[in-house]
Amino acid sequence: MPERPASEDPDTRTARVVAAATAAARALGLTVTQPKVLHDVFSVVVHLAPSPVVARVPTVLPPSLKTDLAALATRQRLELDVTAWLAEQGHPVVTPSPLVPREPVQRDGFSMTFWQLVDQDRDVEIDYLHTTRLTASLHAALRDYPGDLPFLSSVDATIPECLTALETRPDLIEASDLDRAWQEWTLLEPIVESRAHFEATFPHIDVQPIHGDSPPFNIIMTTSGELYSDFEMVTLGPVEWDLTLLGPQGEAAYNTAAAQLGLRSLDKRVLRVMEAARLLQVIACLALVPQLPILADGLKPIIEQWRMSPIAGGLNEWL
C-alpha cells in the first residue's frame, strides 16, 4: 500500500483522496462517475455521485495516525457503531451508508468511511444557541449506548504527540508558549488520561458517552430537520467536554434544556478545566500547520485567548 507523504500540497492531496475514494467505492460495487468534493479541511468529504453515498477521509492528522491506519480505523469503527446505534434508536443522525459494509476501508494510504447522502438546507442560518440546546438531547440519548468507549481519547490522542513535534518547530510556536503548554499538560494529563483520577478529582460528576468534538457546531441542517454528525471523536467523558468555549449564553441554553430532560447542569469547575484542555488541544494543532497552512491564521485569535486564560483552568489553585 502506498505510504502517505508527511506533507504535500493540499490540492495534490485532495486529488489523491478523490481518486482513492472513487476506486474504493467502485470496488464495493457503487457506481461513481462524477465525484464531488463537499468539504475539505481536516477531512475530505466526497459525494460519490451519482450514488447517494458520501466518503469521509481524514487527511490532516497527528503523525501517529497518519502512519498507523489500523489505529485510525479503530477510531472510525467506534464512530460507525455509535451512529448506527443512535439511528436504530430513532435519533436524528447522519447514518452510515446501507449500500456498503459498515466498516472503514483502507485504500492508497487513506482510511475512509461511507455515509448516506443527506439533503442539506444551505439557506438556513444556524442558531448556535438552538443547536446547543439540542446537544442536551444528544447527551440524553448517548447515556444508554451499550458499547465500550475509551476515556477522553480525543484529548490524549492529540496533545502530547503534537507538543513533542513542536519541539523542533520554533517557526510555529514561541518557546515561552511551548513551555507553558507543557506546564499545563503536566497538570491536566492525570485528569484527562485516567477515568479513575478524574472521578477522584470530581467525585460528584458522572461520565458518559459523549460526542467528543463540539456538537453544537456539528449539527447539519437538512430539508427534513437537524441531524447530528461527525462523531469522529466519540469518547467517554464529562458532558462539559462537548460544551467548551460556548460562553455564558451557551452554557445557560444547555442548562435549561438539560433540566427539562432531567439531566444535571454543567459544573463550572469541570467546564473550566475542560476548556483549558480544549485550548491546549488548539495549541497542539499548530503541529498540523505544515499539513494545512490555512490553520496558521485561523488559530491566532484562539492562541491569544489561551495566553490570557488561567493555566489549566485554575486547576492548581483549588486541587
Smallest CA-to-CA distance from 241 within 285, 181, 291, 195 is with 195
**Given a cut of 70, is residue 255 above it in pLDDT?**
yes
Residue ranges per structural domain of the chain: 10-116, 128-318
Across all residues in the chain, what is the average pLDDT?
Answer: 93
The three cell numbers of residue 95 are: 447514518
Same fold, 10-116 and 128-318: no
Give residue 125's pLDDT: 87
The pLDDT assigned to 5 comes to: 53
CATH of 128-318, one of 3.90.1200.10, 3.90.550.10, 3.40.50.12780, 3.40.570.10: 3.90.1200.10
- pLDDT tens-digit map of 131-180: 999 999 999 999 999 999 999 998 876 899 999 999 999 999 999 999 99
CA angle 236, 104, 151 (to 5 degrees): 10
Q: Is 239 helix (H, G, I), strand (E, B) or coil?
A: helix
Q: Which run of H or E residues covers position 74?
A: helix 69-88
- Specify the DSSP element, H or E, that contains 48: strand 43-50
| Residue 222, helix vs strand vs coil | strand
pLDDT digits (tens, 9 = 90+) for 202-228: 999 999 999 999 999 999 999 889 999
Give residue 174's pLDDT: 95
Q: How many Å from the N-terminal Cα to the C-terminal Cα in the chain?
A: 49
Q: Is the pLDDT of residue 317 over 80?
A: no
Which superfamily, per CATH, for 10-116?
A: Phosphorylase Kinase; domain 1 (3.30.200.20)
CA distances from 205 to 23, 140, 170, 250 (A): 47, 15, 39, 20
Q: Residue 1's pLDDT band (boundaries 50, 70, 90)? A: very low
Confidence of residue 272 (pLDDT cuts 50, 70, 90): very high
- Output the pLDDT for position 158: 82
What local confidence, expressed as pLDDT, does residue 318 receive? 65
pLDDT at 224: 85
